Amino acid sequence: MKEMMKRMEELVKVLEPAARSYYKSGIELMTNFEYDRLYDELEELEKKTGIILAGSPTQRVGYEVADSLPKKKHNTPMLSLAKTKQVEELIEKAGDKVCYLSWKMDGLTIVLTYDDGKLVEAVTRGNGEIGEVITQNAKYMKGVPLAIPDKGHKVVRGEATISYSMLKKVNDSITDGREPYKNPRNLCAGTIRNYDPQVVAEREVTFFSFDYVEGSPTNSHKEGLDSLADMGFGVVEGKTVTKDNIAEAVEWFAEKIKTNDFPSDGLVLVYDDIEYGLSLGATSKFPRKGIAYKWKDEVAETTIREIEWSVSRTGRINPVAIFDTVDLEGTDVSRASIHNVTQMKNMKVGIGDKVTVYKANMIIPQIADNLTQTGPAEIPSVCPVCGAPTEIRVDENSGCEVLYCTGTNCLDIMTTKIDHYCSRDAMNIVGISTSTIKTFFEAGILHNILDIYSLKNHQDAIVQMDSFGDKKFKKLIKAIENSSEVEIYRFLYALGIPEFGVSNCKTVCRSVPFESIYDFSVVTKEDLIAIPGVGEAMANSFIEFFKNEENAKMIEELSKHVSFIAEEVKEGPAKLGGMTFVITGTLEKCSRKELQAKIEAEGGTVAGSVSAKTKALINNDSKSLSSKNKKAKELGIPILTEDEFYDKYL
């Protein structure tokens, strides 16, 4: 059984990315013959074992986007364990019992329910009483089998997490000025609550089970976890311990966390005897079956010698404290991020200040306290990379002040612009990644977006670069050529106009009769504001972008390389021409994207918020107290069910 499971894991690991690459970008990672051979082998193993692993291509028929995340009350309240930072308390808790010590994963707690061998429901912990139903998203998490051989009723609890390396990858891809995610847990929480399960899959959310809620085949906690691993679940790593070796085990975990890619904020100790643990009951706040051990942060005092202002790929300029090297958790530490201008001001960080520093979760260096508070240090008025003026902006999400470079030719900002221009939703130039852009910059053959179209003249230099070659060069040039014909809204999005995402660009291009790129510069503010979903701030951003001389010159040059594909227009009058609708709530006949596509195919538009221009709000729950329902009622806009909408308009 274990050998078959191991082989299934190997096959999923090979087939899943091959399928994703083929269906998303048309790039074949293996021949059709090889793919079919491995697929058939996996399908046969699934039949023999009764297990279907998360990510199995035998189950994937597309990403079904959720319209909402309904709430559900847990059968029993999900209480948190009591906490300690003292190893002695763990030893005292163990007493004369055998226990299990494991990672306390730092993610989002999920409860999975299986009936008749199939995953039927996944719910977040929420507030402990009520959670959110995320069943569709859970199907795309690593470590969540879609089917198991045990046909009984089983409820499994675990932690959904995202790795540190994925956190870095996602933050590096942020190109619209948003503040990066602060830690893996925040990224995981936002990802799991995303309505699109494709995001869950792409960010490789991983589930680690840590106990049975119902249906354990054994009274041993350790053996229960082993049974979950045998059925394809991800399982939290742990050790069987007694009071005699708990201290030694804690030291083992403390050493290992230094190289862990998955976040952990401590350890969990539970009695291996499940019935005994449950017999102890619970206080009003904590179950008595176990206890959580939080890492005791090692703190060191040091002196700040410099504030380094680091320019990110998004144009943000982040302050970093450089201080006298100290030893923390066995490693030398000499720098720590201060995150933003607001934090620097609040902590009054200045050159020469005495500070205490520690490693958050024993990994990320942070300033704990500023003992002298002589600052804040001077905020640079020019970018340290390009010398352009800087400006402070308030981040909409956090409310914190953030420093930005205003230079249009700053290396980091230009890298971001090129990356965005080539992205899938924009020009979709496969083969130009962030690392490729930086390599070409260093070689002096790429300085701006226009240089993309002259890369064909640098074959000799490119084919000799690491990870390149003649075959890869030809693919890159072919991808650039393939992108020369594009829908006008994709080109508009590729330009990177602040406030304008793909949907907004599509709406604008369908509302204003653009026939060439020169039409962008003559559209008026009044034209834009008249478009559903476009407010004054967005209109101003659009107008200012095309008034900029450098942007105008760039667009004129791009016109020599890009032509537009006309969108298909239905013959005869459009049923919904000039009408704007808003969709909210849970749909029954189709997904929101499908309904939006139907409306747009008939000449209508779909906006994200209700306004006086809205023709109708589509919501199956007309009695809902949602803000959209309230706004529609205030403005006298009809609220229609799906059936009513179809009957009246389609």
Are 57 and 15 within 8 A, CB to CB?
A: yes
Burial of 361 (0-12, 13-18, 19+ CB in 10 A): buried
159: exposed, middle or buried (Cβ count in 10 Å: 0-12, 13-18, 19+): buried
Q: How far apart are CA 361 and CA 258, in angstroms?
A: 9
Q: Are 597 and 589 in contact (CB under 8 A)?
A: no
Backbone angles phi, psi at 276, to 5 degrees: -65, -45
Rounded Cα distance between 135 and 228, Å, is: 19
Query: Given the structure tokens 């403005």, which residue do they identify?
Result: 635
C-alpha–C-alpha distance, residues 17 and 11, integer Å: 11
CA distance 173 to 180: 9
Backbone angles phi, psi at 292, to 5 degrees: -100, 140
569 vs 513: CA distance, rounded Å: 13
- DSSP secondary structure of 470-533: HHHHHHHHHHHHHTTEEEHHHHHHHTT-TT--HHHHHHHHHHS---SGGGGGG--HHHHHTSTT
3-state SS assignment for residue 272: coil
Scored b (16 or more CB within 10 A) or e, 46-57 reads beebebbbbbbb
Q: How many CB atoms lie within 10 A of CB 4?
A: 14
97: closest CA among 238, 211, 221?
Answer: 221
d(CA 326, CA 98): 39
Assess whether 139 carries a catalytic annotation: no
Q: Which of 93, 104, 142, 628 is catalytic?
A: 104
- For 464-487, the three-class secondary structure string (H helix, E strand, C coil) is CCCCCCHHHHHHHHHHHHHCCEEE
For residue 342, give the nearest of 400, 276, 418 by alpha carbon.
400
The stretches of 74-115 forming alpha helices (DSSP H) are 87-94
> Which residues have a catalytic role annotated?
104
